[in-house]
Structure formats: structure tokens, C-alpha cells
Amino acid sequence: MKVGLFGSSGIRGLVNADLTPVLAVKVGLAVGTFIGAGKVFVARDTRVSGIMLENAVASGLMACGVEVHRLGVFPTPVLAYLTKSAGADAGLMITASHNPPQYNGVKVFDREGLAYDEEKQSQIESIIKEEKFVPADWRNLGKEVIEGIDCQAYLEMIQENVQLNRKWKIIVDPGCGATSLIAPTIFKNLGCNVVPINAQYDGYFPGRSPEPNADSLKFLAKVVKEFGADFGVAYDGDGDRVAFVDENGVFVDFDRVLAAYAAYVLEKVGGIIVTTVEASMIFDRMVESRGGKVVRTKVGDVYIAKAIKEFGAVFGGEPCGAWIHPKLHYCPDGILSSVLLLKALEEKEESLSEFVSQVPIYAITRKSVPCKDQNKKEAVIKVKELLEEIFPDYKQLSTVDGVLMKLTDSWILVRASGTEPLVRITVESESLKTAKEIMEKVSVIVNRAVEDLEK
């Protein structure tokens, strides 16, 4: 966290190294100062450090006269939804999302349930840096409220919007994260036959990594196949991301299921769809062929949510499994996404593999190059110059986030990771051979740029 306190998903760091209780108190003080008293909801995922940081954040908030409602373990989207529906002035989520167990973080939502954008983040950051805290008089310290807020309003929202007729057989894998209790309950409420795995709170994440991907979901894939289930679903540590396994026990590619769902939304209502620079170009093909329009933002759900609001978009999502359904709320919501996908399958009378099969397969290769946080931005600028030299016939160049270069049947994206000391490279092409060839060239360039800076 040397560059700035906030990354693309809030404050994130290694517990007791970057993210200490001292910093957490300051975050509480800063948010309390920023909103000026009022009522704040605080929730956490299942991480071991969650309670320690929650206590610290709550302490800072109360010092500024904020009434703190401690919700306990809740998924991020549920916290965001309740912040809006129960009329809190802000929601603070203690989570490091999909990062390993030794990390934690804080994400802040406003009273609309919208994550703090860059402007609000930089205001919080400057209050912390300059220690411009405004503590309350001792008579007006904030109260702590522990009881009273449950997830009923969220459960009702799901029930009002999703009804299923078929008795789907589903394997749910919350990975011991914040969705462990609520996700299986919701599927049961919808009449599904549910088999939960890794569905107990455990901050060591013993079952699998908090990041759902093809590798960490091998066990889920096996269980889906052995149980003959219709569908396997998994969430990240805090439940804003979702990943799927189809009825054959095959991990469903993130980009393809996102593009397929976007196409489904467009067929129903039409309009604008938002994604980030990182999403596959199949996204544009699927959306544009249905008369829709794609808006691309910087990587980070904060930017997607903001663009959805600005452009009045009907759906938005990132290929990491963070999907936003603006009709219901503006926080990426893994649970909501999974029940809405089931509803889509039911409407289309398709299995998950059939639903996704309409999306063409492009070869996409991704690679990360380690790079010190303080050098990441400069490395990407250098890479842009080198790319222009090596691919002088490029079709389009965008710097909305990192450098995105379109070639005839391929595209290249090189960007600084918002959460880790890495430069990320994505290359996509209609053929794997071409993608690999381009990736090889780009890797050399990125490595050279990083080495020059770290000499």
C-alpha cells in the first residue's frame, strides 16, 4: 500500500504489516469525520483478522460520534444492500475479497449502496494523511448497536425477483467465506435441491483458496459430476464474485458466461452494457450483434457501478465474476448473479453448457509480471512506447486503464494491478497460435520495462 491507501477495490493489505489496527482506527476516524456522525453498518467476511479490524474501525467511528451497527459476518453485497434499504449513512466492509487469508481490507459504501469512488476515496485518504480527524465531545460519542439488523430485507428482495419452477439440483461452494450460510439457504428457499460444500465459516479457508477459479474449484467440479447435479456455483471470500461449473463438471469460462448473460439481458430489455478493458472481445461481439452497446471502464467494480449509473446501463460485469444488476442494486453480487442465471436457464430451457455454447471461443492468454508497486505505472508507460514500436500497424489504442491495443484480429492489454505488485498482460486472438506468439513478444517487452526500472 505504498502508492495510495485505496486500490481498485478499497483498502487492501497484509494484516499487521500494511493493514494494522492503528490504520483501521484511522480509517474509522476518517469515515466518521467525512460523514459527520450518523449511522454506519459494519460487517466482515470470515477472515481470522476480521474481528480485530472491526473493533478498530468501530472504535474510530464511535470516536467521531457515529452510531455503529455491527452486523457480524455478512457478504459484501448484502452489507451494501442493507446499507441502502435500512437507511444507514455508510457501510464498511472488512474484507480482502478473493485474496489469501493473511490479507484483509476495508471497502466503503455510501447510503445508496454504491462503493466510494476515486473522489470520495481520495478525500478519506487526505483526512488520514493529514490527520484531520474531527472527534466528538465525550458526551456525544457514538453508540454501538449489536442486535437488530438481519438479512431479512435481502432475502425478501431475492424472493420478490426470482421464482423458480424447476427443482434444480445444485452444489454450492462458498469456500468457507461469508456466503457459507446465506447462499445455501437462498437456494433452498427457491426450492432447489442443495448440496453445500465448504459451507462453514473458517478464516483459514481450509477447503480451497478464497479465489474461485478453475484450479481452486476442481473439487466442486468433481462433486457436480458425481452427484449428477445441474450446476455448481462458488463464491469468493466476501461473495461479490461468482464462478460456475456446468452440468458436465466443467468449469465455465468467466468471459463466456459473462458475455452469454449480457446477451440474455439484451435480448430481454436491450440497452447499454458495461464492462472493463480487461473483458474478452467476445463481449463486444455478443452485445453488438444484439443491437446493444458496450461501455468499457477501468478495471474495478467501482468504475463499472459508476458507469452503469452514468449511462443508464442495464447490466455490467467484470470477467472475474463480479456482476452488477442495477435494477436491484449497484454492488456486484455473487449470490444474486447465480440465482438470476438459474432463472435465465429456466426461461431459455437450457443447461448451463448450452447457455454458454452460443458464445464463440477466442483464445485468451493472461500473464502477470512481478513489479514493485511504485514502479508499476511507469513500467506501463514504457510498455506503451515499446508496443507502438513493435506493432506500428495497430488499429486502436486506449489508455483508459493501462494500455489497450487493438490489432486486426487480436488485442493486447497491459495494466498495473490495482491490488497486487504485478503488471498484468492479457492477449486475445481468434487463434491460440497467434495469441501465444503475441504474448511472447509482449512478455519480453514488459519484462524489459520492469527490469530497467528495478535495476
Catalytic residues: 97
Residues in the chain: 455
> Residue number with the shortest CB distance to Mg ion?
97
Decide: is 211 part of the binding site for Mg ion (CB under 5 A). no
Tell me how far, at minimum, the Cβ of 132 lies from Mg ion, in Å.
30
**Contact pattern for Mg ion over residues 100 through 129, marking x by CB under 5 A:** ------------------------------
Which is closer to Mg ion, CB of 9 or CB of 297? Answer: 9
67 interacts with Mg ion by CB under 5 A: no
Per DSSP, the chain holds a count of helices (H) and strands (E) of 14, 20
Per 3-state DSSP, what percentage of the chain is helix, strand, and coil (rounded to 5)? 40, 25, 40
Q: Measuring CA to CA, which residue among 425, 427, 401 is closest to residue 277?
A: 401
Candidate segments 94-102, 144-152, 217-225, 270-278, binder of Mg ion by CB under 5 A: 94-102
Element (H, E) at 406: strand 403-406
Q: Which stretch binds Mg ion (CB under 5 A): 19-27, 97-105, 289-297, 408-416?
A: 97-105
Minimum distance from CB of 177 to Mg ion (Å)?
Answer: 9
Please return the burial class of 237, using the count of CB atoms within 10 Å of its CB with bins 0-12, 13-18 and 19+. Answer: buried
Closer residue to Mg ion in complex, CB, 236/246: 236
Which residue type occupies 17? A
Tell me the window of 95-103, 195-203, 222-230, 359-367 that interacts with Mg ion (CB under 5 A): 95-103
Q: Phi and psi at residue 269, in whole multiples of 5°?
A: -125, -15
Nearer to Mg ion, 211 or 247 (CB): 211
Q: Which conformational region is residue 180 in: left (phi greater than 0), alpha (psi within -120 to 50 degrees), or beta?
A: alpha
Count other Cβ atoms within 10 Å, centred on residue 58. Answer: 23
- Rounded to a whole number of angstroms, the minimum distance from the CB of residue 332 to Mg ion is 7
d(CA 95, CA 115): 13
CB of 35 to Mg ion, least distance (A): 24
Nearer of residues 97 and 429 to Mg ion, judged by Cβ: 97
CB of 12 to Mg ion, least distance (A): 11
List the interface residues with Mg ion, window 235-264 (CB under 5 A): 236, 238, 240-241
What lies within 8 Å, CB to CB, of 418 at 6+ separation is: 7, 8, 9, 299, 300
In 98-253, beta strands by DSSP E: 103-110, 144-145, 169-173, 193-196, 231-235, 242-245
Chain centroid to Cα 420, Å, comes to 14
Least distance in angstroms from the C-beta of 106 to Mg ion: 13
CB-nearer residue toward Mg ion: 212 or 292: 212
Cβ-based nearer residue to Mg ion, 60 or 332: 332
Give dist(CA 345, CA 353) in Å, integer. Answer: 10
Please tell me whether residue 333 binds Mg ion under the rule CB under 5 A. no
CA-CA distance, 107 to 43, in Å (whole number)? 10
Q: Nearer Cβ to Mg ion, position 39 or 241?
A: 241
* Selected range binding Mg ion among 10-18, 62-70, 232-240, 366-374, rule: CB under 5 A: 232-240
From candidates 83, 97, 297, 410, binder to Mg ion by CB under 5 A: 97
- Tell me the number of residues near Mg ion by CB under 5 A: 5
Closest to Mg ion by CB, 53 vs 266, is 53
**DSSP state, 201?**
-
Considering the complex, what minimum distance in angstroms separates the CB of residue 230 from Mg ion? 25
3 state DSSP class of 205: coil
Kindly state the smallest distance separating residue 17's Cβ from Mg ion, in Å: 21
CA distance 303 to 316: 10
In the sheet where 6-7 sits, what is the strand order? Answer: 6-7, 10-14, 103-110, 90-94, 39-44, 67-73, 144-145
What order of strands is seen across the sheet that includes strand 193-196?
A: 193-196, 169-173, 231-235, 242-245
Name the site residues for Mg ion (rule: CB under 5 A): 97, 236, 238, 240-241
